A and B are shown apart, each in its own frame.
Chain A
């Protein structure tokens, strides 16, 4: 009896001991997360006393965190104002806030979209000022109709709120594989019947501001076939106005002195109806402007700021009319894991393969305005079968007038400007310039954006060319009425070179950047369409047949200048260049699968690729079996005693501030890397996120890395104090957990399309500097931003994390952001490299495109920021290129990015969420760097963890060389960062056992002792009983 009791107690305590031992083994792998939540540390840095100076290589320009917060708020307001785009105005704007009472219409004026969901949620923290549209308008002195606000904030209206995860979110993000397209979107508008007579009467005599809102989100997309989930409401397409929205605007028209529509969405909405409605006095695009951006929007409405934003995307009459939309959504291989089956020699895919879906980008280079404007030129010139009915939004022949409401780059002002293209200076292989004189010819002070476009020579049936493409832009200072300013825009011919996949160069390699001989038309204009009209006027000598879609368009042949290139150039921009992603073209894998859009015949390129059966070659990538470990080479050196520290690689000026880093090719880097042990290397690569593991052997402290594009994400770092512990209290930027700003959010800035709309390089550079300041005060080093993917279609709900449909605009924004951030020691992590063009089933999605399209559009977005090494790290995407996981696709990661562009920074995967295709073996071998996630995802799989495979890794020299290269790229970036603040040559890492780990050890010890005691008495009792 007694023995049973003792045995049972022993079983209980031994079970607890087992749990404690498992915890003692596992918890240290999550120490960063636990420490950040409990305010503890696992190590501390200690100076041994000899170093001089403060060892702070990156210092804040602010006296306090409060000053920084004020600066961020002011900047957000300015971006909000300069990013606001005036699309239509019959004189109704600006409003006089002091004399014109305003009624806010639309339920979404209460639940505006200010950012996206997940990594880029706009959020105010505990105790932090939170400014929504209503707050902003009150703060700016507007007299708002409070009776209407009362209705819109009532419980009855709340029932209609867009609400999936939280009020004001109408999309349903999904991280799971889906076999059906998302069918529902909640618009969130209330029915007209809810507006009572009293409320309607209260709006009489007021100016109406009608708010139209659409959401943004990671892991979600809009689909043209969606239906409106709001009870009783409907729409033709989710980016078109819903019936309730139309009804609301009709009521506003009946009860208001003037009607202003405020577009609160980053995805281009269909505004043609409103544009053509004479009773709509003004349309203003505000995008999703973050926590404080509506203050700037209110300034535009009141006239305190003169709008100067330009559209980052084309606003089409029907957003689904572009050729890119013909292949956007859900397409599955015939042998998919759900309902498919084996097909001939090709086995059925498994869920582990995560390879069931594909998308074929049949539009080729004709994405965004490059489609609409190029087809327009061919319509005007009567070539390429441009008037064919295919792609027309109306019955019959295609015409630009029926297709575009507001062209890319368009934006109006409260004043008028005259822009004159004075000169262009172009030379192949050099940075040229264009001079443009801008004069304010109106009565109000304001800024003007100058956009320079180019048309390159096109031969019918030859290399595909866009009729117009952006070369650069500039923004004037605020010009008083009558004042002039001459701005200069850089011309880099590399930005408009075309990629020819078929040309064989003198060295025998195939593929080159080419500038064909002929006339190049450089033109300015209020948007791409205006620039093209200027080109056509110059080219044809007539404006008679030209189509204007904006009443204020001024066409001038003088604003286009011709530059002639006598002989074609294949060499200047083709150093180290060769075809690298040919197997992303489905027609080169399975001939005849896709029909690409072509200028030679616009009736082609409208077919949906409904079905693909992968070939055996394609299955290699789809089944994640590209690489394997094997014994090779002589091995590499690990754990060498070379006496180096990472801080030795940083160069400082006479004041002890950062001034540079040792050249990437200096052999000292190799010596530094060789100090790292194989265990450290495995741990670093396998656990590279959300934090970067410390490497004691080179004295790299633990490095914090978090989202995102609106500032460090609040759901990842809940405030400035999160990363600090009392051990850091001597740091000049330490934020105590009890300070008033401790829980303030950093994710307050406007979304990327709004920033792009400012066309103001100074603003984006300042934004990046303030992110860098945030990093100092929040003890962060790497910001997973900016997003630099292209807006391939208007329907991707993650477009808010990316700047634009134009690669040059995206490239210049991203490059300036990253370059400015680096001056503060903030390492940026540009994402999602590359081709993340839809969020639906993004994990493992096979993405097919031609190499020309890939290089001229999407890759051009990333090229400059990587070739200048303005960014220190790159996050790869979830999708595949062709059938190979992008994070293991050496053609892009190594050949294009490193060999052609000269990128030296690190790569990291996106979140490894249990998907086998994102495995460490393919990633490291393919040049994809480190893994954002946990090795636990491979435990129990045939691959196992890196740690499990250590003995095999130790025999594979090629793999270890890739590991060391990965380490070098990361250390190279970290040596340019604030992570070395406080570290000198005399600093040492001292390991500390945090109390929670000590408690786990103690629990294991106590339960082990108790077990032993119970067992002892159990056996003793057993003997007695015997």
Chain B
């Protein structure tokens, strides 16, 4: 256990970055035009799983932490997908000219941030959080 505790791999830092970006995206989601409770749930779960994995890896060196990125990626993507369902109308209104594009800007900012978080989670899932 002590051997692994000191060895923080690249995967660890990628996952840490993903966790930070995911938390930022959750905060940004608060200002989106329409919000889905389930989207919040999935994204918060993603961030929590990532943080737990980081803690587990850093403190206990458990290999279970290597699966943190996998779980968080799936949860993050589910959250992003749910968030889109409540924005479909608004996007349609912007396309048809009923809404102005500015109404979507906060959502788009969130979606970009959330997308980056998902990519980082995905990349981290290819890596080990806990070095061998």
* Chain A interfacial positions (CB closer than 8 Å to B): 3-5, 7-8, 10-12, 14-19, 21-23, 26, 30, 118, 165, 173-176, 219, 715, 913-914, 933-934, 936-937, 939-940, 1022, 1025
**Which residues of chain A are within 8 angstroms of B118 by Cβ–Cβ distance?**
15
Q: Per a CB cutoff under 8 Å, which of A5, A118, A914, A939 touches B90?
A: A914
Mark out the residues of chain B between 66 and 104 whose CB falls within 8 Å of any chain A CB in the assembled complex: 66-67, 69-70, 73-78, 81-82, 85-86, 88-90, 93, 96-100, 103
**Which residues of chain B are within 8 angstroms of A18 by Cβ–Cβ distance?**
74-75, 77-78, 81
**Which residues of chain A are within 8 angstroms of B35 by Cβ–Cβ distance?**
939-940
* Chain B interfacial positions (CB closer than 8 Å to A): 11, 33-40, 63, 66-67, 69-70, 73-78, 81-82, 85-86, 88-90, 93, 96-100, 103, 118, 121-123, 125-128, 132
Listed from nearest, the 5 A-B pairs whose CB atoms lie closest are A8-B126, A15-B77, A22-B81, A11-B125, A18-B78
**Which residues of chain B are within 8 angstroms of A19 by Cβ–Cβ distance?**
77-78, 81
**Which residues of chain A are within 8 angstroms of B132 by Cβ–Cβ distance?**
1025
**Which residues of chain B are within 8 angstroms of A176 by Cβ–Cβ distance?**
99-100, 103
Give Cα distance in the complex from A78 to B98, angstroms: 33
Give Cα distance in the complex from A18 to B122, angstroms: 14
Q: Jot down 16 A-B pairs with beta carbons below 8 A, ordered by A.
A: A3-B66, A4-B127, A5-B126, A7-B125, A8-B122, A14-B74, A15-B76, A15-B118, A30-B88, A913-B89, A914-B34, A934-B89, A936-B88, A939-B34, A939-B38, A940-B40
- Asked if A7 meets B86 with Cβ closer than 8 Å, knowing A18-B74, A175-B93, the reply is no
**Which residues of chain B are within 8 angstroms of A15 by Cβ–Cβ distance?**
73-74, 76-78, 118, 122
B17 smallest CB distance to A (angstroms) = 16
Q: Are A4 and B77 in contact (CB under 8 A)?
A: no
Minimal Cβ-Cβ distance residue in A for B127: A4
Minimal Cβ-Cβ distance residue in B for A118: B98
A77 smallest CB distance to B (angstroms) = 30
Given contacts A7-B125, A17-B74, 12 further A-B contacts (CB under 8 A): A4-B126, A4-B127, A7-B69, A8-B127, A12-B73, A15-B74, A22-B82, A118-B97, A176-B99, A176-B100, A939-B35, A939-B36
Q: Among the interface residues A10, A11, A19, A933, which one has the most CB atoms of the partner chain B within 10 A? A: A11
Q: Per a CB cutoff under 8 Å, which of A174, A936, A1022 touches B89?
A: A936
Chain A interface, DSSP helix/strand/loop, else mixed: helix
Q: Among the interface residues B70, B86, B128, which one has the most CB atoms of the partner chain A within 10 A? A: B70
A1024 smallest CB distance to B (angstroms) = 13
Q: Are A11 and B70 in contact (CB under 8 A)?
A: yes
Give Cα distance in the complex from A8 to B122, angstroms: 6
Q: Per a CB cutoff under 8 Å, which of A17, A22, A914 touches B85?
A: A22
Q: Are B98 and A175 in contact (CB under 8 A)?
A: yes
Q: Among the interface residues B69, B73, B125, which one has the most CB atoms of the partner chain A within 10 A? A: B125
B95 smallest CB distance to A (angstroms) = 11
B41 smallest CB distance to A (angstroms) = 10
Q: Are B122 and A12 in contact (CB under 8 A)?
A: yes
Q: Are B81 and A14 in contact (CB under 8 A)?
A: no
Q: Are B33 and A10 in contact (CB under 8 A)?
A: no
**Which residues of chain A are within 8 angstroms of B127 by Cβ–Cβ distance?**
4, 8
Give Cα distance in the complex from A176 to B73, angstroms: 35
**Which residues of chain A are within 8 angstroms of B88 by Cβ–Cβ distance?**
30, 936
**Which residues of chain A are within 8 angstroms of B76 by Cβ–Cβ distance?**
15
**Which residues of chain B are within 8 angstroms of A10 by Cβ–Cβ distance?**
70, 125
Q: Are A174 and B70 in contact (CB under 8 A)?
A: no
- Asked if A14 meets B33 with Cβ closer than 8 Å, knowing A7-B125, A933-B89, the reply is no
Q: Per a CB cutoff under 8 Å, which of A14, A173, A175, A1025 touches B73?
A: A14
**Which residues of chain A are within 8 angstroms of B99 by Cβ–Cβ distance?**
175-176
**Which residues of chain B are within 8 angstroms of A16 by Cβ–Cβ distance?**
77
**Which residues of chain B are within 8 angstroms of A913 by Cβ–Cβ distance?**
89, 93, 98
Q: Among the interface residues B37, B76, B126, which one has the most CB atoms of the partner chain A within 10 A? A: B126
**Which residues of chain B are within 8 angstroms of A4 by Cβ–Cβ distance?**
11, 66, 125-128
Minimal Cβ-Cβ distance residue in B for A914: B34
Minimal Cβ-Cβ distance residue in A for B39: A940
Q: Per a CB cutoff under 8 Å, which of A12, A26, A118, A174 touches B100?
A: A174
**Which residues of chain A are within 8 angstroms of B40 by Cβ–Cβ distance?**
940
A13 smallest CB distance to B (angstroms) = 10
Give Cα distance in the complex from A266 to B97, angstroms: 23
Give Cα distance in the complex from A442 to B39, angstroms: 75
**Which residues of chain A are within 8 angstroms of B121 by Cβ–Cβ distance?**
11
Give Cα distance in the complex from A146 to B58, angstroms: 82
Minimal Cβ-Cβ distance residue in A for B63: A1022
**Which residues of chain B are within 8 angstroms of A174 by Cβ–Cβ distance?**
100
Give Cα distance in the complex from A939 to B122, angstroms: 28
- Asked if A937 meets B34 with Cβ closer than 8 Å, knowing A4-B126, A30-B88, the reply is yes
- Asked if A939 meets B86 with Cβ closer than 8 Å, knowing A7-B67, A118-B98, A165-B97, the reply is yes
**Which residues of chain B are within 8 angstroms of A940 by Cβ–Cβ distance?**
34-37, 39-40, 86
Give Cα distance in the complex from A118 to B93, angstroms: 11
Q: Are A939 and B37 in contact (CB under 8 A)?
A: yes
Give Cα distance in the complex from A937 to B87, angstroms: 9
Give Cα distance in the complex from A425 to B97, angstroms: 54
A913 smallest CB distance to B (angstroms) = 7
**Which residues of chain B are within 8 angstroms of A11 by Cβ–Cβ distance?**
69-70, 73-74, 121-122, 125-126
Q: Are B74 and A936 in contact (CB under 8 A)?
A: no
**Which residues of chain B are within 8 angstroms of A3 by Cβ–Cβ distance?**
66
Give Cα distance in the complex from A18 to B63, angstroms: 25
A825 smallest CB distance to B (angstroms) = 29
Give Cα distance in the complex from A1011 to B38, angstroms: 23
Q: Are A936 and B81 in contact (CB under 8 A)?
A: no
A2 smallest CB distance to B (angstroms) = 11
Give Cα distance in the complex from A1025 to B63, angstroms: 12
Give Cα distance in the complex from A19 to B78, angstroms: 6
Give Cα distance in the complex from A939 to B85, angstroms: 10
A797 smallest CB distance to B (angstroms) = 15
**Which residues of chain B are within 8 angstroms of A21 by Cβ–Cβ distance?**
78
Q: Per a CB cutoff under 8 Å, which of A5, A14, A23, A936 touches B86?
A: A936
Give Cα distance in the complex from A18 to B100, angstroms: 31
B61 smallest CB distance to A (angstroms) = 14
Give Cα distance in the complex from A3 to B67, angstroms: 10
**Which residues of chain A are within 8 angstroms of B126 by Cβ–Cβ distance?**
4-5, 7-8, 11
A17 smallest CB distance to B (angstroms) = 8
Give Cα distance in the complex from A872 to B76, angstroms: 47
Give Cα distance in the complex from A5 to B11, angstroms: 13
Q: Are B122 and A914 in contact (CB under 8 A)?
A: no
Give Cα distance in the complex from A1009 to B34, angstroms: 33
Give Cα distance in the complex from A261 to B112, angstroms: 55
Q: Per a CB cutoff under 8 Å, which of B75, B78, B98, B128 touches A22?
A: B78
Minimal Cβ-Cβ distance residue in A for B73: A11
**Which residues of chain A are within 8 angstroms of B33 by Cβ–Cβ distance?**
914
Give Cα distance in the complex from A914 to B36, angstroms: 12
**Which residues of chain A are within 8 angstroms of B77 by Cβ–Cβ distance?**
15-16, 18-19
Q: Are B34 and A936 in contact (CB under 8 A)?
A: yes
B73 smallest CB distance to A (angstroms) = 4
A177 smallest CB distance to B (angstroms) = 11
Q: Among the interface residues B36, B37, B98, B118, which one has the most CB atoms of the partner chain A within 10 A? A: B98
Give Cα distance in the complex from A19 to B73, angstroms: 12
Minimal Cβ-Cβ distance residue in A for B94: A175
Give Cα distance in the complex from A118 to B67, angstroms: 51
Give Cα distance in the complex from A16 to B81, angstroms: 10
Give Cα distance in the complex from A310 to B121, angstroms: 70
**Which residues of chain B are within 8 angstroms of A14 by Cβ–Cβ distance?**
70, 73-74
Give Cα distance in the complex from A544 to B7, angstroms: 108
Q: Among the interface residues A19, A165, A940, which one has the most CB atoms of the partner chain B within 10 A? A: A940
Give Cα distance in the complex from A18 to B72, angstroms: 12
Give Cα distance in the complex from A936 to B32, angstroms: 14
**Which residues of chain A are within 8 angstroms of B86 by Cβ–Cβ distance?**
936-937, 939-940
**Which residues of chain A are within 8 angstroms of B97 by Cβ–Cβ distance?**
118, 165, 173
A745 smallest CB distance to B (angstroms) = 16
B47 smallest CB distance to A (angstroms) = 16
Give Cα distance in the complex from A174 to B63, angstroms: 55
**Which residues of chain A are within 8 angstroms of B125 by Cβ–Cβ distance?**
4, 7-8, 10-11
